[in-house]
Amino acid sequence: MTTRNATLAEEFASDTVPATAILLPILAMLSVLLDIPPLIWHIRNHNMAACFLVFWFMLVNTINTLNAFIWPTDASLLRWDGAIFCDIEVKLIVATYIGATGALICIFYALYHALDTDRTVLSHTKAQKTRKLAWELLACLGAPILCMIVHALAQDNRYELVTVMGCYPTTDSSWVTGLGLWLLPVAFSIAAAVFGALVMHRTMTYRKNISAILNSNSSSTLKTKRRFARLLIMSLVLIFVLLPVQAYVLIWNVQGGPYLTVYRWNRSKWHDIVVIPTGGEVQFDRWLQAVFGFGIFALFGAGRDAREMYRMALLRIAKRNPQPSLTIAHPPPPPSPIINSTQTTTPYPPHKNVLPHIPPPPPPLNFPSSSLLLRRALFSTTPPTRVARMTIVGRLADSPELVPTATGQDVIRYALGTSTGPRDNRTTSWWRVACFAQEGGLRELVLGLGKGSLVYVEGDCSMNKFNDKEGKPTSALSIVQRKLKSLNASLCALRGMRLICLGIGNIEVMEKRNSEGEGGSE
């Protein structure tokens, strides 16, 4: 191992494990484990920017955990130089400088357009989804890869090896480092802060009607006020912490020496590994990374959506490992006849395999014909008023989503699109429908209907009034489902059942599509 500080490391080498070498990996490892459920939740909701944000913090906390276990003391720095392992790690560390801020830009951009009342859509076109995907990949993954390439050109030494913190990237003082590794992350943070200020301005402007605006949004992650608030709070906290930290790092490095000097291709020190014993001192950003991980779990891993995900996971585990059912007590067999040496008996006839008697299933529950009566019994404290009854035949704009309510009951909500008029001049209308569903597999069947499923809906409707962006009164039609039908029952998870009781109405499958949007066979 070639080192410039080997003599210094041998002089101050110590095998005493500092407290930071114990506390930091414990906190970082717990942060990684707790961030797994939020990552899964964002993946299921197709929120790529939030997925990358959680991923970058999980990555950096994983690195902090491994390094603290490998190099906990000053003496451990001389046992292994971390070749190849640190070469990969320092590139990943450089990528995290800008990866989190790039994800924050995408999150603020999505929040900003979610409150845009002039561009509200229920379903994006394929071209719009492609452009959104390309933009998020460029900001969340392309920019970190660019920083990794820049660091490969601008690194002064191979890397530094620091007590507890482990592998640490080094850079020279050229203009390549100044522009690519210090100014670019700060610019990303400033852009994210600007978008965050715009989101806060729109939030304050539409604070009275924010729920109605979010209900008409096409993103399943932003359809409820709680989800919007959690994502906004997390992003604001991160950006108002990351921006000062990155600005401080930029100022500290500029004061440390002349920057933006001429770049030199002579890399004679690329193979040098600098060993720096610190006695267990850890930079403050390592603690912030662990705290951010706990904050992500507090916002997205302990809410109602997360608890519903945990409950469904436990149900799936229970179905895969069912408990043995109770054994039905049968009457004891008749006593055997007494057999002695002087008396013989006729043998019993051969035993026949006779199935035990199975009682018939209980009759289905009879629910009130009107969904309003059931709503009053389950979810309302005042008598509801029926406005109108209407029927709609159309296709689902997106997969149904499960939304918790303040009363503890769950509501299935989905959007429905209908087309009218001739083929060359067809008009599309969109309807927002809510369904109060009971627990059980039948509710999971409704949630399994994919985007594009052709359904028949019968429900009670009412008008909701709110003010738009310009302050003009606007009304929106709200439908509470009484019946939902689909035509092809053979495509359902429960085969052979054409009418399925859901608690407030019936479901009958017309044409079901899977989650990838492929049509089912008739």
Query: pLDDT tens, 248-273?
Result: 777 776 665 555 666 666 655 677 88
Higher local confidence (pLDDT), 191 or 261: 191
Alpha helices in 369-495, H assignment, sequence order: 371-378, 441-447
Higher local confidence (pLDDT), 337 or 189: 189
C-alpha distances in Å from residue 31, one per residue of 36, 293, 424 = 9, 5, 56
C-alpha distances in Å from residue 81, one per residue of 71, 76, 87, 316, 372 = 10, 9, 11, 46, 71
Domain boundaries, the chain: 6-314, 371-509
CATH code that applies to domain 6-314: 1.20.1070.10
The whole-model pTM stands at: 0.57
C-alpha distances in Å from residue 233, one per residue of 210, 216, 229, 423, 474 = 16, 21, 6, 46, 29
pLDDT score of 333: 55
**Which of 449, 434, 453 is closest to 494 using CA atoms?**
449
pLDDT score of 268: 52
Strand (E) positions, 208-312?
Answer: 273-276
Strand partners, 478: 432, 462
How high is the mean pLDDT of the chain? 71
Strand (E) positions, 313-409?
Answer: 388-396, 401-404
HSE-up (13 A, CA, CB side) for residue 13 = 13
pLDDT score of 374: 39
Q: Please give the average per-residue pLDDT across 295-299, as a whole number.
A: 83
Residue 490 reports pLDDT greater than 50: no
Q: How do the residues of the chain divide into helix, strand and coil, expressed in percent and rounded to 5?
A: 45, 15, 35
Distance CA 150, CA 135 (A): 21
Least confident of 40-54, 67-81, 114-128, 225-239: 114-128
Q: Which strands sit side by side in the sheet containing 273-276, from one edge to the other? A: 166-168, 159-162, 273-276
User: Tokens for 86?
Assistant: 């640190």
Higher local confidence (pLDDT), 489 or 448: 448
Non-local CB neighbours of 372 within 8 Å, separated by 6+ positions? 384, 386, 460, 480
Query: 206 and 213 in contact (C-beta within 8 Å)?
Result: yes
Residue 194 reports pLDDT greater than 60: yes
Distance CA 414, CA 375 (A): 18
User: Tokens for 255?
Assistant: 């004061």
Assign 137 to helix, strand or coil.
helix
**Which of 97, 135, 142 is closest to 113 using CA atoms?**
135
Superfamily of domain covering 371-509: Nucleic acid-binding proteins (2.40.50.140)
Distance CA 425, CA 38 (A): 44
Q: Which residue has the tokens 């715009």?
A: 198
Most confident of the ranges 3-12, 59-68, 190-199, 311-320: 59-68
pLDDT score of 346: 46
Provide the 10 A C-beta neighbour count for residue 355: 5
User: Tokens for 139?
Assistant: 């900001």
Q: Dihedrals φ, ψ of 72, to 5°?
A: -80, -20
Non-local CB neighbours of 499 within 8 Å, separated by 6+ positions? 506, 507, 508
Strand 427-436 and strand 473-486: pairing? parallel
Residue 118 reports pLDDT greater than 80: no
Distance CA 42, CA 450 (A): 18
Helix 225-256 vs helix 284-300: crossing angle, to nearest 10:
170
